[in-house]
Structure formats: structure tokens, C-alpha cells
Structure 1
């Protein structure tokens, strides 16, 4: 059933941050009803596709973060569709949206209005710059994407090589981390409602979330008065903690503890380095010299050889690509690759599984992403059933 099988979520979100948040809830068993605007979520048509984009209902982007949801299509510019939405709100636990601030109010569907239909409603928003209800700023109402959030939040300034430009982190962390925090906020609000019967507004901003993620840079600025900047794959206060090029790839070594440093030196047959640089302070002071020594040693070995020499005594790992991940038995044992159907083909595709593991109610992707408006009848009823319900209400 899933730990959240008692919850119904009305999901008004699109693209990445909001759908990822509601995907987490769906994986944990919530009934997530994806309410799509006319034409559907903007990313339905995004590649990649298995074969023919004209035959397949959606691409990998949409499939990955909308699995296990149900879909209906509503146009909030239409009075009947707004009425249908309000009827769903009456029976829902949670509404999640990621429009610009003020969009829902334009349709008279904002938080305050919806709580008139359901006083215990938990209403959650994901925006670039938060909502005025929790702290008003001049940025609210501006559009934001992952790139904007990473730039403003300091992530890009501390990512990349020392002599290179500010660099975006590969995954969309401005979306994904914000979505995860929003999910935590929603679950906290559910717990509060269980204790008090009170719903509430949950607000998570992408800019705010990136500041939270760059916590190390924040305290460094406060303590030193100097803004941190790029250091490649190294760490400002730990050494060795870096990626090293091997004969056929790269491996990372995190041996900043003295016990691990001693093991690295033993593997290198360099007891002199362990003796000459015994403390963290010694190693940080001479990190450039020591990095060069490690780099020379690593370059003479393949990645597998280097990992084999250190694994078990030192934190070490190869730098893997997705092909390596698909071949990793650990990944399969942890159910981190999940097959789902790809509509429009006879194929299955694999998407990332849930990293949240629970013994009694294990989260898991609960089937493929929905077709647009696939579940209209089962969610809203047939046309005749709705007409009968409206007539009964009038009587």
C-alpha cells in the first residue's frame, strides 16, 4: 500500500521541481492526481524517445518524474473546469503547484480560497523566489530555472576548476534539492495536521534552497570574511579529498583522516610521506606537493588497479558513467533501476528507483507515467454521473 497510501495529492506542477516532489510522494504510496493544463505538461514532448517521437506518448524526461501518477486535463480559464477542481480539493489532502506567485489567485484558486472548501488542506508551492506569504521580496513573480537558482545561490561560484569559469552542477539540483525539501515540508505539515487538525501553507523557494545547499560557503564567508571560490575537485579543509587521473580514467580518494592517510602512503610504498606529514595541518599546508605525488602514483595504474589497492582500507571509488552504473551489481541489488512500460512501443525502459528504503512500506515507482487525461473518468466520473451529481446538488 505504501506509507502515504491514505493521502491524495492534487499535483498542478510541471517540468522538474514540482513533479519530482510529487513523484517522491507517489513512490511512497500517495494517490497523486496530475492536473495538467490544456496540451499537458511542457516536458511531455522532450526527448529522449525509444524510437519514434510521433508514436510515443512522452519522452524519458516526463516518464522519469511522473511515474505512478494519474492524469486529468483541466483549463482553469473554464468555469466548469475550475468547479471540477474545487470539487477535487474538497476531498484532497494536499495541493502542490509551481506557478509564478499570484497565478492561482488570478483564477480565484489561491490558498485562502481553497481552504474555504477544505479547511484542513495542506497547500504547497515551489517557486524560484518563494511566496509573499512567508516573506515578500522584489524578486517574486520573476521566472526561475535551475540555472538561475544555481547562479544566485552561490553553487556555480564554487563549482568548476580553479582557472575555469563558474560551472553549473550537472544534475538540476536547483530543482531536485528544492523539491526534496518541499516534500519534507509537506510531510511535516501532514504530521502537524494529525496532531492539531490544522492545514497550512508550505513554501519552498529555489534560491533559498541553494543557499541551504551551499551551507559550507555561507559559514566560510562568515568566519573568514572572504567569499569561497572554485577549487576543482578538492576540498578547502580536507586533504587528500580529490579526483586523480589514472591510466584509463579517474578515481577519487578521500583519505583526510590520519589512519586513511597512513594506508595510502603504505600502498604507495612511501612511509616517508606518512612520517613527514602526520597531521591534517601538515597535509593542508603542503597539499600541492602531496597532490603531485599522488597524481604521479595514480597515473601509473588503471582505475581498477588503484581501487583494488586501496579499497577496504581507504575511501576510494572509480568515477563512473551511467553505463558503469547499469553494470553495477550493487545498483541492481538496491533496486535503483526500475523497468516501466513506454507507451507507443513494445519496449520497457529503465528509470531511477527510490533511494528511500523502508522495511514495512518500501517506496517504489508504481508503474509508468500517465497518458494525458488518461484517468478523467475514474477521477471525475462519467458525464452522466457528473450531471446527476450537479442535479442532486441543485435539488
Structure 2
């Protein structure tokens, strides 16, 4: 019962690890099916890259819960499965006669997961409970936008849709814990993750800084309020990340830069002193990095001081780390003459490996298969 990004990403994480995930779609399909980009020669356009990225390893059935026959099918499916996940606003599933309490009567072991902008009244009634929310709203209200931006104070949202992706990840964790409890006790439960709450938890630093010291964190560009050097620096041909806040790494960095004087300088000999003189450190670091190509700095510092180039998509496709870790996976795409590439699973198991083992589904592609399984359960 998930749609768009948050819900599908959460169930994708479970599907990548082997869960049998059935995507229940409305007749018009998940809204993300109709989003660009499409493969260049795809005449079928069953789905584009957005949908494919978060709906691999799933089966699809179309059910219109406003229609009694389809609602009955859904209710008959509930006892077969361990969990139901949805990311509608509060009350939508109850309007279909398929809210948690109704489903629990059919399957007492059922774990019911809900991702909402501001949570569900069952676990704490927010004054915003009825508000719709998207990623950018969660980022703004949860605090991450207030601490992200330029040194001049212009705020920016984070590039990836963390307002969806982080609550989705927490939901996968919460579902796993609840499923373990259900297995041991026979008792299911309602699992609620609010997008606002998730982003606030992710921004834990702004909470403790305000609580302990009354500091309202503001944008710091690419720097860190408590560590330096810890920044993105310009190079002769791009940008590079360097982090050397510890005494050991700072001394090693000074040696590579041929600036051992900085290891003793009263402005820079400890992390606290460098934080107090962050502008000087940034200027000094940039003066060095600007003279060298990115690859040369990586060669000098790699394996010695934490360092990494700022990779774009093309760089990721060429990086040997990505290939070694199987983080780009070619997946068949209906209607396209070539496979499309999707991110692999970052959760690596030594004994029971996950991965992409099923292409994303056409809408309703597995209806007959799922209904046959349901009929097989009929006494």
C-alpha cells in the first residue's frame, strides 16, 4: 500500500534482503510510475527510473479498495502476510475499512507500518496530523535546512530526499524489530514513523547544542562546527573532502603539505584552536589544495588522512570501489533494448546475501499469481 518514495524505499530495503513484498497499487498505479526519466527507446513506458529504483524485487497487484470485490481480496490477503505498510495520511486506510484495528482482527500477528508526515494519532496526536507532507517540508520543519547552506547564511535543502529516505530506513528497522517480537510472542503491533520526527532525530547535533549551550546552529557551508579541518576544498580541477581533526591526522596532513609549522602554531596545534581559527585553517588548506589536481591530492593523502574526491554520477560509474562492492546492478527493463542500472544494496551479508533478483513489475503483473496463491489457501 505504499506510494511515491518513503513507503516504497522502506519495503525495497526488506525486499532486497529476501522479503516477499507485494505492491498493492491503485488502478492508475503508483504516482512514481509516470515520472521521468524513461529509457531512450522505451515505447512501453510501464515505468521510469524513479519507480524502478525503489520497486525492484517486488510483485504487483492492482486493487481498488473503494470497490467491495477488490477490498475483499485485500482482506483475504492480510492473514497470509506478516506486515502491511502504507504511507497515506492518517485515516485514509480506515476510510477503506482496512485500518490497523480491522486488519488486526484478521491477523493478530500482523505488524502494521505507517509513514506519515507528522505521525499517527495512535502514538501521539500532532497538531499537524492532518497536514500533507513531502520531503522538502520534512527537511524544513525537522531542522536540517536550518543548518545546511552557505557561510553567508543562505539555507539549502539536502540534495537526496532524506525527508523520505531516512524515515523509510527507520521504518524498515522498526518493522524488523516488531516482526521479531511477533515471532516470539504471537503479538503484532502498530509501527509509526513520522517524517518530521525522523529528520529531527537525524539532526541530533542541533538539539544537544541548543540544550547544553543555547546555541542555535546555523549554516556552515561544508564545514563542521566542532571539527577542523573537516571540509570540502577547491582543487586545481574540482573539489575534495579532507578531514583531519585528530592530532595524528593533523600532524600527518601537515607533513604532506610540508607545513609542519602548523603542528606547533598556537592557532592550529589542537582541534579546539583550529575551530577557533577556522577561517585561517580553511584559507591555508585551500591555498594548498588549489595548486594540485584532485587525483594528486588523493594519491598523496589516500590511506594516510581521510580524503575523498567529490564524485558525480559519471565518477561513481567509473570507481573501482563501486564495482568491487556491486553497488551498480544492471536490471532488465521491459520495453527497453538494454538493461538499466540501479543502485545495489549497501547491506552486505556474508552468509545470506541480498541483492536485486527481480526487475521492477509492470502494473498488476502478478495478479493471477497472487490470486492463485490465495486460492491455494482456501480449505
What is the TM-score when the length of structure 2 is the normalising length? 0.97
Aligned partner of 1:4 in structure 2 is none
Correspondence 1:278 to 2:269: yes
The CA deviation at 1:53 is 5.5
Which runs of structure 2 are paired with 1:76-95 in the superposition (5 Å)?
Answer: 76-95=65-84
2:179 is aligned with 1:190:
yes
What corresponds to 2:357 in structure 1?
366
Question: Per-residue displacement from partner, 1:157-202 (whole Å, max 9, x unpaired)?
Answer: 1111121421010000010000000000000001111221100000
Displacement of 1:254: 0.3
Distance 1:255 1:324 in 2: 24
8 A contact 1:56–1:342 mirrored in 2: no
Q: 1:309 aligns with which of 300, 307, 330?
A: 300
The yes-or-no answer on 1:248 pairing with 2:237 is: yes
Give me the whole-angstrom Cα distance separating, in 1, the residues matched to 2:153 and 2:269.
Answer: 32
Deviations 1:300-331 (A, max 9, x none): 10001111111121101111101011001111
2: CA distance, partners of 1:52 / 1:77 = 36
Among 45, 52, 63, the alignment partner of 2:52 is 63
In the other structure, the counterpart of 1:112 is 101
Secondary structure of residue in 2 paired with 1:244: strand
2:337 counterpart of 1:326: no
Check whether the contact 1:265–1:273 (CA below 8 A) recurs between aligned residues. yes
* 2:138 alignment partner, one of 142, 149, 152: 149
In structure 1, the residue matched to 2:89 is: 100
CA contact (8 A) 1:241 1:253 kept: yes
What is the SS of the residue equivalent to 1:100? coil
Secondary structure of 2:188's counterpart equals coil
Structure 1 residues 37-85: Cα deviation after superposition (integer angstroms, max 9, x where no partner): 1111001011111114642211000001000100000101100001000
**Equivalent position to 2:8, from 6, 10, 19:** 19
Q: Distance in 2 between matches of 1:376 and 1:293?
A: 63
Tell me if the contact between 1:26 and 1:366 (Cα under 8 Å) persists in the aligned partners.
Answer: no
- How far, CA to CA, are the matches of 2:145 and 2:196 in structure 1? 13
Q: Is the contact made by 1:53 and 1:59 (CA closer than 8 Å) also made in structure 2?
A: no
- Quick check: 74-83 or 159-168, which moved more? 159-168
Aligned-partner Cα distance in 2 for 1:372–1:97: 18
Q: Show the counterpart of 2:326.
A: 335
- Residue 42 of structure 2 contacts residue 336 of structure 2 at CA under 8 Å; is this kept in 1? no
1:211 Cα deviation after fit: 0.5
Matching residue of 2:159? 170
Aligned pair count reads: 377
In structure 1, how many angstroms separate the alpha carbons of the residues matched to 2:154 and 2:369? Answer: 52
Match of 2:288 in 1: 297
**Distance (whole Å) between structure 2 residues aligned to residue 249 and residue 219 of structure 1:** 35
Listed as ranges, the gaps of 5+ residues in structure 2 are none
**Within 1, Cα distance between the matches of 2:342 and 2:333?**
11
Does residue 1:133 correspond to 2:139, yes or no? no
CA contact (8 A) 1:48 1:61 kept: yes
- Following TM superposition, the consecutive aligned residue runs of length 4 or more in structure 1 with deviations greater than 2 angstroms are 52-56
1:376 equivalent in structure 2: 367
| Equivalent position of 2:200 in the other structure | 211
